[in-house]
Chain A
Amino acid sequence: MFGFLKEKLKKFIESARHPKGKEEESAKAEVQEKNKEKLEYITEEAGEKADKKPRKKQKPEVKEIKIEKPVEEAIEEKLAEETKKQSEEKVGFFAKIKSRFSTTRFDQETFNELFEKLEALLLENNVSLEVVDKIRADMEKRLVNIEIEKSKIEQEIKNSLKETLLEILIEPFDITEKIKENGGTFVMLFFGINGSGKTTSIAKIASLLQENKISCVIAAGDTFRAASIEQLKKHGDKLGIKIIHQNYGSDPAAVAFDAIKYAEAHGIKAVLIDTAGRMHTKDNLMKEMEKIIRVAKPDIKIFVGESITGNDATEQARQFNSSFGVDAIILTKADVDEKGGTAISVGYITGKPILFLGTGQDYHSLEKFHPNEIIANLGLE
């Protein structure tokens, strides 16, 4: 995972050096024709400013972000820039030329040009468009109209992307520690859309808890899908974990309740509640989940998503998060695709940590998710 993204990112950062060369050339020309150039430079700047406004109107795709910033504010900012520039003029002609040699100012145009490449790269790697927009806004704030030393341009881009991603990807907590610290019975509820891998993930986590000497039971709360209970029972047999179940069609909340009561009576540390896969578009199923939550009062609600999901990942995560409040995330099928964009999308939408990546069929194919590792993988350290 992320191998592909890393490679592309390298290429992108290298391509970011190009404007540097351009700047140098124009600066040389500047020295040769000082006076003329200065005049031109000023008019150029003015023209650019004039350019900027209409461009914003023409590009509806940045609207969402731009709207956040009220127009007045934007104008004020511009005015501030203007006065800053005027004072810069006073710094002295030779000093200015010198600074043009060693530093470069990221203007909107260069940024747009550069980001377009980065945008395509992120999109190709399955980051959803909405999150790409957020990354764009963040990087724009960090880079545009800021004097950057030329030698640091590469570092700046890296840093900016790194900071943005670090904001999106939250360092996960240690679930086993959390359960150990917890006094009574720790209730974990798993939900997600159909076929995302809830049952398999639950079996993996149960196995992990067992290894950490934490006793657990599993509640077979999927009472809808054919053979879902049998599937859990088989896992239970293999792992030696008790499965609390009722019949198909029974109330999942009741199954959860039974399991919690059983755990409390037997001094069992953790209860894992499996639920039927549900589309976030189905109102009745979402209401059913509300009831399960009301009855089971879970200590942690885990959203199980697929790392191969495209733009819909944001919609799924948003709906589940706003309906039930997601506390943590497991992304399954991470072995299927080396593109890692879904982690970034889902992390951004929920603002919650990704605990694990599901990476295969057996019980040990459950990797802890480390944002720093991912960032290192991207070559951003």
Chain B
Amino acid sequence: MLEAIGNALKKGIDRIASAVFVDKTLVDSTVKELQRALIMADVNIALVKEISEKIKQEGEKYVKNVEKKEHIIKILNDEIIRIIGEEKKELELGKKDAILFVGLYGTGKTTSIAKIASWYKKRGKSVAILGLDVHRPAASEQLEQLGEKIQVPVFIDKTEKKPLKIYEKYKKELDKYNLVLIDSAGRDALEKSLIKEIKEIKEAVKPTHTIFVIAADIGQAAKQQAVILKEACGIDGVIITRMDSSAKAGGALTACNEVNAPVYFIGTGEKINDIEQFNPKAFVSRLLGMGDLETLIEKVKSATDEKTQEKLKKNLEEGKFTLADLAEQLESMQSVGPLGKIAEMIPGLGKAKIPDNALETQEKKLKGWKHAIKSMTKEEIENPELLEKQTSRISRIAKGSGTSTGDIKQLIKQYKMIKELASSAGAMDMENMHDPNKMMSNKQLMKLAKKFGKKKTIRF
């Protein structure tokens, strides 16, 4: 996603930075390339023209050559930031909030609501969902099933055909919750009856926020939809879904800029945890291959609950790191997302350097380890050293878990490495997990880097 813009930007910067003279042809050809990348990313055509004109004009200005380079690179950067947004904006929530979700058909409103409900539930809010989509068949059932999955109460009425009546019915009960997420029917901004309906809902419910859900692959229609919906019901935030596709989200992002609404979240997959807060700067950094630790840590936080973290911390403090802990770690790592996604966020591990199937085999290996640990006896789990002494155990476990003895040996190696690291680091301060700077001291980091470098046990 957004890679095309990123690449064009990188290329453009490289080209200008390495050129001896910044002349008109160079600027023109760079602009042309950027133009194509932006168009491919569905950025609004009028905006593309505006940006390229601006860069061209600046390129023609007479400034000393060196400064000119920097100048143009800065403009390039600024214009890209202008499209994707500047600062990360967080949804400001008080003690009692109601968020109304609006958007076109099939953009992922209902799925996003479940994801957000789960997001805020994990962060300690009491969340409820109100289903006001009375048009699409089985919309209520969908909410019901999702609510069950994430353990969030869902208020629906399968027979009522008037959304306002459903709201009246549950009004009192909903008052008990910190956060009420309101699902509405998919609507087309050009369809007057649906616009009227959403206006009525908005007037009655008086939500504290109205969030527009838009798909990353929408084309030039994005702007019009956003503008009309904004007029009708006042959008004050956006969620972009389908960010896991090959779409570049330029249409959606420019639409957000058009209506002056910040992007709070992006949906990156079908599962409940596939949601990220949108951080434009981190985003740009990720697409330029510079990593995004902040998002990764957010993800780890939402994937593991506090209890397991506590337990792990305690075990580490006592120097009792067992294979069971490793298994748990593997489990939570998998719920963070596929390795490819994680690697994208780690600085220096940009996707370009790792062949795709290398990650896949690594992932398979991790899965194998999980099964292997399950095939061990309790004694073996607590004392993995046993395995090294009695190698017949290894072949038994390999047979039982459908892995090879080599896999098991690697697992033990990995375990020992982590254990050593854990004990030498003393009690790594798990509480400061969410602060990347405090997470590990420089010394520890160096140690870790040395270890990985020397042994090369992790072959990415």
- List A residues at the B interface (Cβ < 8 Å): 58-61, 120, 123-126, 128-129, 193-197, 224-228, 230-231, 233-235, 238, 279-282, 306, 308-313, 315-316, 319, 332-333, 335-337, 339, 341-342, 361
Instruction: Check B246–A312 contact: CB distance below 8 A.
Output: yes
- Additional pairs, 7, CB under 8 Å, beyond known A61-B33, A195-B105: A126-B220, A224-B270, A226-B110, A228-B138, A310-B220, A339-B220, A361-B135
A309 is contacted by which of B29, B218, B270 (Cβ under 8 Å)? B218
Residues of chain A with a CB closer than 8 A to B110's CB: 226
Residues of chain B with a CB closer than 8 A to A315's CB: 246-247
- Complexed CA–CA distance, A268 and B136 (Å): 28
17 intermolecular pairs with C-beta atoms under 8 Å apart: A125-B220, A195-B107, A195-B215, A195-B242, A225-B270, A226-B142, A226-B149, A227-B139, A230-B142, A231-B142, A310-B217, A310-B218, A310-B219, A311-B219, A311-B247, A316-B217, A337-B221
A311 is contacted by which of B41, B137, B139 (Cβ under 8 Å)? B41
Q: How large is the interface on B (under 10, 10 to 19, 20 to 34, 35 or more residues)?
A: 35 or more
Residues of chain A with a CB closer than 8 A to B108's CB: 194-195
Instruction: Check A58–B29 contact: CB distance below 8 A.
Output: yes
Instruction: Check A195–B29 contact: CB distance below 8 A.
Output: no
- Complexed CA–CA distance, A226 and B190 (Å): 28
- Residue from A234, A279, A282, A311 having most chain B Cβ neighbours under 10 A: A311
CB distance from B35 to the nearest CB of A (A): 8
CB distance from A253 to the nearest CB of B (A): 19
Residues of chain B with a CB closer than 8 A to A59's CB: 29, 32
B104 is contacted by which of A194, A235, A282, A336 (Cβ under 8 Å)? A336
Q: Of all chain A residues, which has the CB nearest B218?
A: A308
Say yes or no: is B42 at the interface (Cβ < 8 Å to chain A). Answer: yes
Question: If the complex has contacts A58-B25, A224-B270, A281-B245, are A196 and B138 also in contact, measured as CB distance less than 8 A?
Answer: no
Instruction: Check B245–A193 contact: CB distance below 8 A.
Output: yes
Instruction: Check B32–A61 contact: CB distance below 8 A.
Output: yes
Say yes or no: is B36 at the interface (Cβ < 8 Å to chain A). Answer: yes
B217 is contacted by which of A312, A333, A335, A337 (Cβ under 8 Å)? A312
Residues of chain A with a CB closer than 8 A to B244's CB: 279, 281-282
B142 is contacted by which of A196, A227, A361 (Cβ under 8 Å)? A227
Q: Of all chain A residues, which has the CB nearest B140?
A: A227
- Complexed CA–CA distance, A339 and B188 (Å): 14
Q: Of all chain A residues, which has the CB nearest B252?
A: A310
Residues of chain B with a CB closer than 8 A to A123's CB: 39, 45, 220
Interface flags, B93-118, vs A, CB<8A=1, else 0: 00000000000111110100010000
3 residue pairs, one from A and one from B, having the closest CB atoms: A310-B219, A195-B106, A227-B142
- Residue from A195, A230, A306 having most chain B Cβ neighbours under 10 A: A195
- Complexed CA–CA distance, A123 and B251 (Å): 12
CB distance from A310 to the nearest CB of B (A): 2
Say yes or no: is B343 at the interface (Cβ < 8 Å to chain A). Answer: no
Residues of chain B with a CB closer than 8 A to A234's CB: 137-138
CB distance from B277 to the nearest CB of A (A): 21
Question: If the complex has contacts A58-B29, A335-B191, A336-B104, are A311 and B42 also in contact, measured as CB distance less than 8 A?
Answer: yes
Instruction: Check B245–A280 contact: CB distance below 8 A.
Output: yes
A126 is contacted by which of B136, B139, B221 (Cβ under 8 Å)? B221
Instruction: Check A336–B29 contact: CB distance below 8 A.
Output: no
CB distance from A280 to the nearest CB of B (A): 7
Instruction: Check A227–B145 contact: CB distance below 8 A.
Output: yes
Residues of chain B with a CB closer than 8 A to A196's CB: 106
Question: If the complex has contacts A195-B107, A235-B137, A311-B42, are A226 and B32 also in contact, measured as CB distance less than 8 A?
Answer: no
Q: Of all chain B residues, which has the CB nearest A197?
A: B106
- Complexed CA–CA distance, A310 and B136 (Å): 25
Instruction: Check A312–B245 contact: CB distance below 8 A.
Output: yes
B242 is contacted by which of A225, A279, A361 (Cβ under 8 Å)? A279
Instruction: Check A194–B144 contact: CB distance below 8 A.
Output: no
Residues of chain B with a CB closer than 8 A to A225's CB: 142, 270
Q: Which of B105-154 contact A (CB under 8 A)?
A: 105-108, 110, 114, 135-146, 149
Instruction: Check B246–A336 contact: CB distance below 8 A.
Output: no
- Complexed CA–CA distance, A41 and B256 (Å): 53
CB distance from B344 to the nearest CB of A (A): 13
Residues of chain A with a CB closer than 8 A to B448's CB: none
B42 is contacted by which of A233, A282, A310 (Cβ under 8 Å)? A310
Q: Of all chain A residues, which has the CB nearest B190?
A: A336
Residues of chain B with a CB closer than 8 A to A333's CB: 104-106, 188
Q: Which of B236-265 contact A (CB under 8 A)?
A: 241-242, 244-248, 250-251
